[in-house]
Amino acid sequence: MDFETAATTLAPLAPSGTLDAESKPRIDSLALAGFVVSLVGLFLFGVLLGPVAFVLAAVGYRKVTHSGGMLAGRGLAIAGMIIGIIDTAAGIYLLRLLLS
């Protein structure tokens, strides 16, 4: 193997202790969507958006945990599930106050 062939076939190495752009795990879109929807649900339509946020975040959490480190966003998914539950509970409480 000559030098030019070897230089083009070897992947560049990142300095030790750092991650290059290709080795960084990407954030799972469902985990991020669940988190964003849960935040919106705090202010608007918590009864409707809370369960949607919980489901999106739960599916995102499952994808992240089963990705083998290829996906990030576990914390976003957990936060989305927790805030989604809070959205739903607060929305139901507010509806009961309005209707009574």
Whether 70 has a pLDDT exceeding 80, the answer reads yes
- This prediction's pTM: 0.74
Return the pLDDT at 64: 96
Whether 2 has a pLDDT exceeding 70, the answer reads no
The better pLDDT of the pair 35, 19 is held by: 35
Whether 80 has a pLDDT exceeding 60, the answer reads yes
Instruction: Report the C-alpha dihedral over residues 67, 22, 79, 59, rounded to 10 degrees.
Output: -30
Return the pLDDT at 36: 96
Domain boundaries, the chain: 49-100
| Cβ-contact 49, 36 below 8 angstroms | no
Q: What is the per-residue pLDDT across 54-65, written as a single tens digit (0 to 9) for each?
A: 999 999 999 999
